[in-house]
Chains A and B, each alone.
Chain A
Amino acid sequence: MNETLLFLIPLLPLCCALLNMLVGMRLPRLFAETVAVSGVATAFVLTLLFWDYASGAGTRATLFTWLASGDLEIAFALHFDRLAAPMTLMVTGVATLIHLYAVGYMHGEQDYARFFGLLNLFVFAMLTIILADNLLVLFLGWEGVGLCSYGLIGFWYRKLDNARAGTKAFLVTRVGDVFLGIALLWLFALTGSLSIGVINAAAADLAPAVLLGLTLLLLLGACGKSAQLPLMTWLADAMAGPTPVSALIHAATMVTAGVYLLCRLFPLVSLSAAGMAVITAVGALTALYAATCALAQREIKRVLAYSTMSQVGFMFMAVGAGSVAGAMFHLLTHAFFKALLFMAAGCVIHLAGEENDLFRMGGLYRRGPVELFWIFLIGAVCLAGVPLTSGFFSKDAILLAVFTHPDPVYRLFWGIGVLTALLTALYTFRLVYLIFAGEPRGQGAPHPVSLAMRWPLWPLAGLALLGGGLNLPALVGGGERLHHWLGDLGGRTIAAAHSTELRLIALATALVLAGWAIAHWRYRRFAPPTEAALVQFLLHGWQADRLVDRLLVRPFTATAHFCSTGCDRGLFDGTLAGLASLAQRTGALLRRLATGRVSTSLSAFAWGLLVIAGWLLLQLASRGGHG
């Protein structure tokens, strides 16, 4: 096959998106849905067909020269390599299942063409990020996913809160994008190229301070997209979007784009030890922060959103600890089980009668189909890291990588990670108990859950349970297949004594058990919610929104207010109005001179004559004086 055909992978979703956006509403509903699903599914199949192209150094495909100006020459090129291939496969696969789920979920929705158009466009943009050969094409996809995220969070824009949530997500991620843009320009200034390969090769020649600055800029860009500290406030609000959107964009794919970016530029990032420590610190702190917030949330989707932030924080820790393979492993397994959890949560919300509040659910084990409980439980045990599930292996690999890092400060991060793992188990089982245990507490009439919403969950559940097989550690007889597949792209090889690994596994198991025990003790029987200050503090995400409001929004508003009323209206408009009224008053004065009478004009002539005669006299006098 021709390697240019690689372009079919991102272009098929784009074509389907355009088709749906342009004529989707005129087509029969079934046709529009089929177009949307088949576009993504075909991309999935193509990825499988092209799999061999990824081995070795990968395959580059150039479609055309996008920009050419002086030294800058940007080709619209793709690079399908060992890092991009599994990511592409995951995105197209998960997206296909979520599209199928969305067909059932959006069944009663009138505006289906816009929804599927944006969803397909998102898949295109995400694939552009993954496959981009140079940073400008990557940036194109980067902005594209932001745009689609904005459009889909505010999908039900008639409710003002939803539209506001979309705007917030767009603006907060834009802050990160600015830093990424600066990093791009700086890289171009340093290396004269935006090609990822060239930049990674040239990185070794750069000064340490420059590398640190670049790493921090890239980290800030990644933080915006991946909802890490300090740009994390948008993700919880982004849950205002439809549940398939939350599953696809805000759990499986877009929020992991930041991790992917750091993995892509890992040869550059890894050169700065301080930068790596900062990445790990950001990841660890975000993981802990989000886990504590998740403990107190009342809305089911917000719990999952905070857990997503927490898990992405783990991925950042893995990158910071030098283990790209660990980050990618957790990225893939997390995509499976978190998408599963979100979709199951969508079913749960349906069953509870469009009820989001955990405290008004309960008793769904007896009320709904039993399979839903099992599916949700599979997702939950993966998230909590119950041994032998995929989440267990991937999280363990990350903790091991952080633990074995030679720098002693990483032990502190490891401690935070362990604490977070305990909290993760706790809030996960709290979620399960609040939803399924006890008696029904809500009044909503249950909606039936259609078949289309149920059966895409099963493949995901299987992947979530068995996803650990992708990178089984040698300790349990696995081949570390992902690590071997990534090869030199996989970062540091983790070498640890088996006894250390065993001890860590035992610790993780103990943590999960402890978390489950606490949750069982506290939430087996529903207790009315308390209004304690700590609960409120955590419920509002450590008051991060208020902090941003105090620190940024209010000073900005005050400055804008000053510029508007003080400078613009007071100074500029005032000056202009003053000049205008001055001209008007002068005109009114001069107007009196124009009497329209002949006599006035004549006397003006006479005065002019006098002036001329007087001036001539003066000339004469001065000449006489000189002569």
Chain B
Amino acid sequence: MIVPFGHLLMFAASLFVLGLCCTLLRREIIMILIGVEIMLNAAALTLVGGAAYWQQSDGQVFVILLMAITAAEVAVALALVVYLKQRKGTLVADAFDRMSG
């Protein structure tokens, strides 16, 4: 591997926390979803790094599966965005609080 494994993990962790910040701090559903995508990519980076470190193909296979599942998730999530926009006329996440106790 071209770099120490720890450095790669640090990049992945930083990317993950940036995605986390995005989901936590932004209010629009679109931006929250983008934050989720960033976090998923951080996970993908870790998996590919792990594959390279341990010389195994499994990590890369998992990234492919991860992408497929992300595609499915994004399809449903964006359909929900369309649905909610039509229903409520807004995409601010805090407007959807019908589960309030």
Contacts and interface: CB of A to CB of B under 8 A. Distances in A.
B51 interface: no
Interface in B86-101: 93-94, 96-101
Given A606-B20, A606-B24, A599 B101 contact: no
B27 interface: yes
B32 interface: yes
B101 A591 contact: yes
A590 B24 CA distance: 22
Contacts of A593: 101
Interface in A338-356: none
A596 B93 contact: no
Interface residues of A, number: 14
Contacts of A592: 101
Interface in B46-101: 93-94, 96-101
Contacts of B41: none
A597 B101 contact: no
Contacts of B101: 590-596
Nearest to A609: B20
A603 interface: yes
Contacts of B100: 594-597
Nearest to A592: B101
Question: What interface size band does chain B fall in?
Answer: 10 to 19
A602 B26 CA distance: 11
Given A597-B93, A597-B94, A602 B99 contact: no
A595 B96 CA distance: 10
B94 A599 contact: yes
A474 interface: no
A603 B20 CA distance: 9
Contacts of A599: 24, 27, 93-94
A207 interface: no
Given A594-B99, A596-B100, A603 B24 contact: yes
A596 B94 CA distance: 8
A3 B57 CA distance: 101
Interface in A583-627: 590-599, 602-603, 606, 609
B98 A598 contact: no
A598 B32 contact: yes
B84 to A, nearest CB: 11
Contacts of A590: 101
A598 B93 contact: yes
A599 B98 CA distance: 13
A605 to B, nearest CB: 9
A590 B101 CA distance: 9
A430 B98 CA distance: 92
A609 B93 CA distance: 22
A603 B23 CA distance: 9
A603 B27 CA distance: 13
Contact of A596 (B20, B32, B98): B98
A421 to B, nearest CB: 88
Contacts of B97: 595-597
Among A596, A603, A609, which residue has the most Cβ atoms of chain B within 10 A?
A596
A406 B48 CA distance: 117
Nearest to B97: A596
Contacts of A609: 20
A598 B100 CA distance: 10
Nearest to A598: B93
B71 to A, nearest CB: 22
A595 B101 CA distance: 6
B99 A596 contact: yes
Interface centre among A590, A591, A592, A595 (most CB of B within 10 A): A595
A598 B96 CA distance: 8
Contacts of B20: 606, 609
Interface string B12-53: 000000001001100100001000000000000000000000
A599 B94 CA distance: 7
Contacts of B96: 596-598
A273 to B, nearest CB: 82
A598 B99 CA distance: 10
Contacts of B23: 602
Nearest to A591: B101
Nearest to B25: A599
Contacts of A594: 99-101
Contacts of B24: 599, 602-603, 606
A592 to B, nearest CB: 8
Contacts of A602: 23-24, 32
B61 to A, nearest CB: 26
A599 B24 CA distance: 6
Nearest to A613: B13
A203 to B, nearest CB: 76
Interface string A475-496: 0000000000000000000000
Nearest to B21: A606
A117 to B, nearest CB: 64
The 3 A-B pairs with the shortest beta carbon distances in the complex, nearest first, are A596-B100, A594-B101, A596-B99
24 contacts: A590-B101, A592-B101, A595-B97, A595-B100, A595-B101, A596-B96, A596-B97, A596-B99, A596-B101, A597-B93, A597-B94, A597-B96, A597-B97, A597-B100, A598-B32, A598-B93, A598-B96, A599-B24, A599-B93, A602-B23, A602-B24, A602-B32, A603-B24, A606-B20
Interface of B: 20, 23-24, 27, 32, 93-94, 96-101
Interface of A: 590-599, 602-603, 606, 609
Given A591-B101, A596-B101, 17 more contacts: A590-B101, A595-B97, A595-B101, A596-B99, A596-B100, A597-B93, A597-B100, A598-B93, A598-B94, A599-B27, A599-B93, A602-B23, A602-B24, A602-B32, A603-B24, A606-B20, A606-B24
